Structure 1
């Protein structure tokens, strides 16, 4: 099997990580493209001592680590100067490795040992880095959250996680129409949306309706993430895979709010 064939199944999830790390589909996908270009240009430099997925993320980490922060900010300026300014201000107050360690463990499911390899620290430092990231992000952000989810148990679980993080829940919707109505009645600062809803309506369509009225960060929840991580069209920046871990939802919420200019500091 060629290296390309070995890496192909992991590319959607690398896009998920890159988008969450950068807070942007276009910016995250750009780093993934740069990673693939580097591998194609010098396949002999691809890590051989680890499995392909770990080698792929390691190569991405090298590309990300070598990028100039100011150049990256300029690339995303067209996506919203105010939001970018807020994101950069928050970045200045948090070590990049902390954010990476949190996303790699909670969202991507890497072990502490693998995460240590990816961010180039000792394994016993990973837990400390993750703790620092959660403490700093939770201290910085709070929001009012609309949940769009038609499965009661899952909705209750998400609501508990949201409240445990110190956020408020504006409502729980099970259909597209109900979601839009709740959003118009009480504008949320964050939306968590399932893809398939109770009446066969779409969470994606509900979000499109909401975004046509006002801007709000969105996290999609789906059992089929590969369908929304192709890099071939406008796709979600933040995505959670069903079934999910509580830590995954917490990391996604924290990271989505990290890049939101409207977020109010807690405390």
Structure 2
């Protein structure tokens, strides 16, 4: 039912609108306007009611895309300050809402190639604003070197590398990284997940688990990571997930 759909999606619609306007009241007003115009008001017979979250996001985006309809635009996420409106919207929908490309194309009313170009430009524009220091918790030297090259290509810096749980905790305490890339199986048989559990007690930073053993994350553990990259990995996948993790952290 439409009521259930709206109730379920309302927090995410508000998050999207608030991030795009930079103001809680303005964002909520955009959502309210969308609901008034497309849900609560009687519609012509050729204008069906929204049936999915994609429909709802598309209707909201049509308001956010029109500067004359946004009461306030004071972008609260520093990473978005230098991006165009369409770049901000594309990035948020893909990185934070984690919608598939075909859904984002429908919401933004762009082609697949246009979305690719928008996200590519956004990645370049984001480099300086998202730049952070990264702790790599990985015992295999070649993989650590690959990850170092990838993060440096995005404008980030590897601040330290750890190969065991104890070393990871020590380095995190000493460096306070902005992001951690974590392997599960470490050199001395210790676990990167245990290192994460210890680090989170004194330092809050987004973590990405990069592992050949993703099944080990299916145990229902308390601090299960939100971001996972299976080995062997592709550089473009690692880049995307790093941006997702940093943007999601910035939006939280």
Q: Per the shorter chain, which TM-score range?
A: 0.5 to 0.7
Match of 1:257 among 223, 226, 246: 246
Match of 1:239 among 216, 220, 228: 228
Match of 1:160 among 128, 146, 149: 149
SS of the residue corresponding to residue 194 of structure 2 reads helix
Are the equivalent residues in 1 in contact too, given 2:58–2:108 (CA < 8 A)? Answer: no
Give the structure 2 partner of residue 184 of structure 1: 173
Post-superposition Cα deviations, 1:165-203, rounded to whole Å, max 9, x if no partner, equal 222212111110111112222221211101111211110
Give the structure 1 partner of residue 194 of structure 2: 205
Instruction: Give the unaligned 5+ runs of structure 2.
Output: 1-11, 17-51, 62-73
Decide whether aligned partners of structure 1 residues 207 and 156 sit closer, same or farther in structure 2, where only a CA change above 3 A counts.
Answer: same
Larger gyration radius, structure 1 or structure 2: 2
Find runs of 4+ consecutive structure 1 residues off by over 6 angstroms.
112-115, 229-232
Instruction: Give the unaligned 5+ runs of structure 1.
Output: 1-17, 23-58, 69-84, 262-267
Post-superposition Cα deviations, 1:18-76, rounded to whole Å, max 9, x if no partner, equal 9xx99xxxxxxxxxxxxxxxxxxxxxxxxxxxxxxxxxxxx6644655679xxxxxxxx
Higher relative contact order (CA 8 A, sep 6+): 1
Are the equivalent residues in 2 in contact too, given 1:222–1:240 (CA < 8 A)? Answer: yes
Are the equivalent residues in 2 in contact too, given 1:98–1:132 (CA < 8 A)? Answer: no
For normalisation by structure 1, the TM-score amounts to 0.56
Q: 1:127, CA displacement in angstroms?
A: 2.1
* Equivalent-residue separation in structure 2 for 1:224 and 1:60 (angstroms): 33
* Equivalent-residue separation in structure 2 for 1:225 and 1:115 (angstroms): 28
* Equivalent-residue separation in structure 1 for 2:59 and 2:211 (angstroms): 33
Are the equivalent residues in 2 in contact too, given 1:147–1:172 (CA < 8 A)? Answer: yes
1:93-242 → structure 2 map (5 Å cutoff): 93=83, 94-100=87-93, 116=105, 120-225=109-214, 228=217, 234-242=223-231
For normalisation by structure 2, the TM-score amounts to 0.59
